[in-house]
Structure 1
Amino acid sequence: MQLPYVYRVTKYDPADRDAHGYYTGSEDTVSDHGEVEASYLQAVAAFARDAGVDHLAVREPQVPSFVYFGMEPPVDGFGLDGLFPAGPAGFYDGAEVSLEIGLQLVCVMLRDNGAWCRLEAEGAFAVHVGWDQYLYISSSRPCEEASAHTRELGLFPERLRTSPYAFEAEGEEQEQVTQRPGDDDFWAELHRAVADGSAGILEETYLEGASRWHRLDRDTVDTVRARLAPRARLAAWPPLSPDIDAVLKALPTEGLVEGVWQDNDGHIHSAIADETAFPELTARMRSARAAALLSAYAGESVPLFTAVMPDNDGVLRARWRTEPTPSDRDWALRHPGR
């Protein structure tokens, strides 16, 4: 739901913008890690107080994957170390955090440490960080006191119709295909696929940009299900091939691929590489027990079927979606209106 009051909060004086709205002044586009950064955080706290909010939910969390475009290099743990009692595993879609922890997450994003998310109190408040120290705050209330306080801090709150970083469903095709939940029916189908040999590994995308792979057999499917992160995206894939030589011969001369392999201890590993890293990837996969190569380009390697994990009450609240496969489309036709 789009909240009615949207503010862009920055250190950039509107008087220093050209006719197209581009900033032409001398302010730096990275955090000063000091007084100005502290003013941003105080502004967020002021808007949250005006909105009557003291807790926030993490939405669509992400970390860098193969390519990183931040202005500052990512730090160990992507800035999440020490923020959650359970460690970085506490950073997941739907995680409830105090306003204090929310402000620390805003600081991580202002510093381009690597982790990013939207922070929301449903129906009341939202905050997220864009490029170049652009902060976007939405509220169900006008927040006039917070706006005045923000100006006193030396920042510039400006009203907008909407944030360019507000969540939007991606793609017309995904709009038309009902998202399949990772419910009991999904897991029953996965059990059948493992039993008949068509499925052998499960990809768990627990953050945008971060995945884990799980080896599946008849005895491990339920164990894997119990270990998944909340609201994870799932993709079932065929078993890995024991013919390592054949897998490596299929490595293209260039492009972006993901190698997935099982080591001699039974653990599943993966790595995304382009042609500059193919020799290292080959060396790592050479001694594997089984392996596969997947194209990292959309639509070139397609899983058997996909799902997104619902909450414990069975409701699918995650807003991110999987790319629908032919099997997913068949499921949607059999379950209209879900």
Structure 2
Amino acid sequence: MFVNHVASSPYDPAGDRVVDDRAADEAFWTEVAGLIADRGGVLLEECHLGNAYRWYRLTDEADIRSTRTRLTPRARLAVWPDLSEDAEEVRAGIARRERLAWLVRQHPNGRFHPECVAEPQMARADVPNPYVSAAPGHRAALVPVREVDRRPLSTGVLPDADGVLRARWRSNETAAEERHTFLATLRIGDIVTGVVATGLHDVGVFVDPDCAPDGVLGFLRTPEMSSSRSPDGSSR
């Protein structure tokens, strides 16, 4: 453990960047109804606390009315294309690894499995219980995690009962969230360069990865180390 002095708390509200969110008012829900009419259905994401999510599949006006009664006040909403029953299409999306994404799955009874980060092994179909099932009624979708990758069909934040939008959602990640996002992008077999941050211990050394946010240290165990000569003749 290393102690680093910081000028202020990363959770200080004064350091938050916030955006002027659109209210999830009647105009928003009218737009959602139009998307359902055009597409046959949509996936609604409810972020009600930090990075905690709930998911709803909307296919008609009755679904909208029922779902609106269950949403948490001041929750942040995002509308995505409908889940797919084409298991091969979803598996191919996972295998491409184009971006960090949630794998969202719905059981035929309408319940949703807890979302999870899509990993390459989840694209496999040659296992007894595949993550993406091809059985009738099973649906799945890939939803981008990182803000820079997200392109929902529509977004909104629930106003209070009096119609006033008071929720102020932070748009910048805390240091802990940045570390979590970075670690979630790493895969077994990735090549990561870095600088040794500490002297050699009996069990290994700490390494400061070049691509990591501040505060993230890797650990290289002694049995995993090797030495060789670089083209300029120096050791590495």
By how many angstroms is 1:184 displaced? 1.1
Taking only aligned residues, the RMSD between alpha carbons, in angstroms, comes to 3.2
Shift in CA distance, 271/229, structure 1 to aligned 2, threshold 3 Å: same
Does residue 117 of structure 2 align to residue 273 of structure 1?
yes
By how many angstroms is 1:240 displaced? 1.0
Give 2:78's aligned residue.
235
What amino acid does structure 2 have at the position aligned with 1:300? D
* TM-score normalized with structure 1 length: 0.42
Give 1:191's aligned residue.
33
Shift in CA distance, 170/195, structure 1 to aligned 2, threshold 3 Å: farther
By how many angstroms is 1:272 displaced? 2.1
Give 1:69's aligned residue.
none
* TM-score normalized with structure 2 length: 0.58
By how many angstroms is 1:298 displaced? 2.8
Shift in CA distance, 285/164, structure 1 to aligned 2, threshold 3 Å: closer
Q: Deviations over 1:133-163 (max 9, x none)?
A: xxxxxxxxxxxxxxxxxxxxxxxxxxx9x76
Sequence identity percentage: 36
Q: What secondary structure is seen at the aligned counterpart in 2 of 1:302?
A: coil
8 A contact 1:215–1:268 mirrored in 2: no
Q: Deviations over 1:155-189 (max 9, x none)?
A: xxxxx9x7653314755xx64xx310111111111
By how many angstroms is 1:285 displaced? 2.1
8 A contact 2:46–2:55 mirrored in 1: yes
8 A contact 2:91–2:123 mirrored in 1: no
Question: Would you say how many aligned residue pairs link Structure 1 and Structure 2?
Answer: 163
Shift in CA distance, 321/223, structure 1 to aligned 2, threshold 3 Å: farther
- Residue of structure 1 aligned with 2:22, choices 180, 184, 189: 180
Does residue 87 of structure 2 align to residue 247 of structure 1?
no
Output the CA distance in 1 between the equivalents of 2:95 and 2:56: 25
For 1:54-133, what aligned pairs fall within 5 Å after superposition? none
Gap regions ≥5 residues in structure 1: 1-20, 23-130, 132-159, 324-338
| Structure whose residues are more often helix by fraction | 1
By how many angstroms is 1:277 displaced? 6.0
8 A contact 2:102–2:144 mirrored in 1: yes
Does residue 137 of structure 2 align to residue 291 of structure 1?
no
Shift in CA distance, 291/319, structure 1 to aligned 2, threshold 3 Å: same
Give 2:151's aligned residue.
302
Output the CA distance in 2 between the equivalents of 1:210 and 1:164: 20
By how many angstroms is 1:321 displaced? 5.5
Output the CA distance in 1 between the equivalents of 2:120 and 2:90: 18
Q: Deviations over 1:69-108 (max 9, x none)?
A: xxxxxxxxxxxxxxxxxxxxxxxxxxxxxxxxxxxxxxxx
Q: What secondary structure is seen at the aligned counterpart in 1 of 2:167?
A: coil
Q: What secondary structure is seen at the aligned counterpart in 1 of 2:67?
A: helix
